[in-house]
Every structure is written in C-alpha cells, then in structure tokens.
Amino acid sequence: MKFHIQTWGCQMNDHDGEKLSGLLSAEGFEAVAEAGDADLVLLNTCSIREKAVHKVYSELGRLREEKQRRPLLVGVTGCLAQQEQAALFKRAPHIDFVLGTMALRQLPRLVAEAQAGRGRVIDTGEYPDNHLFPPQVARRRDTAKALVTIIEGCNHACTYCIVPTTRGTERSRPFADVVAEVRGLVEAGYREVELLGQNVNSYAGGCTFAELLARVAEVDGLEWLRFTTSHPMNFTRDLARELVTNPKVAPFLHLPLQSGSDRILKRMLREYTIDQYLERLGYLGEGRSRLALSTDFIVGFPGETDEDFEATMQVLETVQFDASFSFIYSPRPGTPSLRLKDDLPMPVKSERLARLQQRQAELTLASNRRFVGREIPVRIESRTATEQGWWLARSGEWKTIHLAAGPGRELPFGELVQARITQASPHFLGAELV
C-alpha cells in the first residue's frame, strides 16, 4: 500500500503529518511523493481562514475524479476534519474516513476498516493522551530543523479563532519526554529544534516554558532552539531573559499582536492592550536589538474604523517589526465574532491590507539592510545548489539566506557555516561563504 499525505496549515499540522506518516510506515506502508502514485491519499487540513478550506475542497474535487478512474482511499484529517466531523461525508461523499486532530493514533485502525470496505469511517474523539506520542513515531521530512510538540490545544478564546474548536484545551507533554526526544534528535544528527504549540508559553508539563527552554538548551550538541507560537499575555520576564541570554535560543521572537487598536483588541478578546504588549516587549531590555521580531495582524475585523486601522499602522512604526504576517479577517463557523456587525466593504479591507503589507515590506527591507557587511552563522537548508548556484540557508534571526559557495563547492546540509552578507532584498539576504 502506497500513501501520500498532503498537509496545509501551521508547523503543528506539519508535524502531525510527520507523525501520521510514521504511523503508516510502521504498518509497512510506503510513502510516495505524488498523490497520483498513492493508494491512500490523506489530506491533513487547515481551517484557520476560508481560503485554507477552499484549497481542501478543491483538492477533494480533484480526488473525486481520480477515484472514478482507479481504486483509491481518501482520508481527511487536521483542523477541517475536527471542525466538520461527519458533515464532511455529506459535502464530499467519496471520503473514506475522517480522523480528528486529537485521535491521530487511531489512523491505522481507520485505514484498516476503510480497506475492509466499511464505508465512512470516523473518529473525532478527544483522546487525552494524543500529545504523548512516543518520540520515535514521527517520520520527519528531510529538513535541517526538527519539529517537536510540547503542548497541544489553546485555552484562550479569541473571538475570531477556530483553533480552540479544532485543537481542544491545552495539554502539555511532561518535560522529561521533551528533553528525551530532543536528545534523540541530536543523536540522529539534528542541530536545531523548534518547540511547537498553539501557545507554547502557557506550557505546564512540570516546569514553566522558560525553564523548559533552559533544560532543552542543555542538551549537548544542540546548536539552536526555536519556539512557536507565543501569546503576549503568557510572555513572562523569565522567558524574555532566557531568550536574550541563552546563547542556544535563536534570536527570534514571533509575538502575534493582531491589531494596534485597544478597541479592536478588546473585541477580539486578546486579553491585552497595546501598552501591555509594548510592556512585554520591554522585558527584552537591551537584548531586544539583537533579536528579530515578527508578528501577525488581522485587518478588517468587524467594526474596524479608519481610526482603528491607523492605530495599527502607527504600531508598525513604534515597534518596527522585522517581519509580519497579515490577513483579512475571515469569519469562521461557530466563533463569537460572527455575531459582530461586519459592514466594511471588502475593497476597503483589501486596501488596508495592501497598505499595511507595503509599509511592512519597507520595514523588512530596512531590517535586512542592517545585516549587509556582517559575518554571521547560517544553517545550510538545501542539499544542492539552486540553478542560480545559490545554497539556501537560514540565520538565527530566521532570515532566508542565498549563499554563494563558488563553483564545484559542496556545502554540508544542516550544518552551520559562516557567511558574509553582501546584499539585502525584501525577501532574502545574499551572502558569500567566509
């Protein structure tokens, strides 16, 4: 049996895909790169915004046609599966099974039942041990950085967000499990690890998140430690100190803000004001200048006035984020923000988004330009050079680096090399090997 997993969404989902791949491999199934070569296609879905859901339905449409031509099992997992549950079968009757985000380990059973011809198999149960996957299960993609789950679910209740519905309440992995997994990864050759959760800094697996960072950083041979994502209200002084003083914690912080207007933040139930967010950033002290800082924005939230949006543009100037990810508000089923009046025309929302992204592009370019002339360590992330002769690499600040190594020179995948930054563009830094 050959399988193909197509994943959308965040790193959490990406890593779930690696766990699912491992579960199927353990059954003796073979992973293939193309859906067209597979007997089983598993769609590991995201439903954070309407667009993400469209992508899933369009792929399901394609698979329906393919299923008419040849035998094929189609499974759906991930956030859309948890959200829609059995309703997915109505929407797409050719789906063979639906697997929820908290029932991942039921995958082999569901596949076996689907293979045996039991139509429409489903498990969207909330298994309390879903986050306790044995470390050796995941079959990781060929990446220089390894993903490690430390906490699942979210106890916040942002009014626009589907995640608490699709991922359940917070469950933390015991810290000894996390440290053991990282130790195993370093033994297997990884030098960089990213700790994952919808909200990593509310970690409660026997120590605080700041303490967990310190413990994981002690693993011999680990070079860089990253984490994603943090909620500003759980961003403590201890965490800030660890981030700026621990040399193994990569100099990068993604701290989603969402809006520059207190009025909108309140409607979003983000639990902080702009001043409180800025206060949290202040915890970084002098160390702040060595970090790259990124954030998320939602534009056109119901009731967002010109004034509210100008406040968002203002905060961009105040903070000077190195990068930001911004999206137009997307109404999600069952979320509280659906009840808010949303009468702002879409062209106005699009215009606001374009303005924000335009200004951010300038700020990102300015941030990139500050690197020109510096020599910094970067990790090689590609196994071969591109057609243009660049090797792809990443800096600790999560900047994309296009590295020129010179003709015929091979660079060591996954290792750190010293690079001199020679040019800056809005999307990457050009560099030479030192």
Contacting positions for ligand SF4 (CB under 6 A) = 154, 156-158, 161, 163-164, 198-199, 231
Joined together, the tokens standing for residue 58 give 């369009």
In this structure, the chain runs to a length of 434
Q: Any known ligand binding at 207? A: no
Give the three-state DSSP class for 228.
Answer: strand
> CB of residue 232 vs ligand SF4: minimum separation in angstroms?
9
Joined together, the tokens standing for residue 260 give 């520059």
Shorter beta-carbon distance to ligand F3S: residue 5 or 316: 5
Q: Are strands 400-404 and 429-433 parallel, antiparallel or unpaired?
A: parallel
Cβ-closest position to ligand F3S: 9
Footprint of ligand SAH on 137-176 (CB under 6 A)? 160-161, 163
Which partner from the list ligand SF4, ligand SAH, ligand F3S, none does 330 bind, CB cut-off 5 to 8 Å by kind? Answer: ligand SAH
Task: Identify the DSSP state of 143.
Answer: -
The answer to the question of residue 9 lying near ligand F3S (CB under 6 A) is yes
> CB of residue 9 vs ligand SF4: minimum separation in angstroms?
12
H helices of 207-297, in order, are: 209-217, 237-245, 262-268, 274-282
Whole-Å CA distances, 384 to 193, 276, 394, 411: 22, 45, 15, 8
> CB of residue 39 vs ligand F3S: minimum separation in angstroms?
25
Shorter beta-carbon distance to ligand F3S: residue 54 or 374: 54
> Rg for the chain (alpha carbons), in Å?
22
Distance CA 13, CA 336 (A): 24
The answer to whether 182 touches 193, Cβ cutoff 8 Å, is: yes
Joined together, the tokens standing for residue 407 give 């003709």
> CB of residue 40 vs ligand SAH: minimum separation in angstroms?
29
Shorter beta-carbon distance to ligand F3S: residue 14 or 415: 14
The answer to the question of residue 46 lying near ligand F3S (CB under 6 A) is yes
> CB of residue 417 vs ligand F3S: minimum separation in angstroms?
32
The answer to the question of residue 158 lying near ligand F3S (CB under 6 A) is no
Which partner from the list ligand SAH, ligand F3S, ligand SF4, none does 234 bind, CB cut-off 5 to 8 Å by kind? Answer: none
Distance CA 319, CA 292 (A): 11
Distance CA 64, CA 62 (A): 5
Question: Which amino acid belongs to residue 23?
Answer: L
The answer to the question of residue 144 lying near ligand F3S (CB under 6 A) is no
Footprint of ligand F3S on 164-223 (CB under 6 A)? 166-167
> CB of residue 331 vs ligand F3S: minimum separation in angstroms?
14
Report how far apart the first and last C-alpha atoms of the chain are (Å, whole number): 48
Summarize as ranges the residues that interact with ligand SAH (CB under 6 A).
48-49, 160-161, 163, 198-199, 229, 231, 256, 258, 296, 298, 327, 329-330, 332
Going by the annotation, the residues of the binding site for [4Fe-4S] cluster are 10, 46, 79, 154, 158, 161
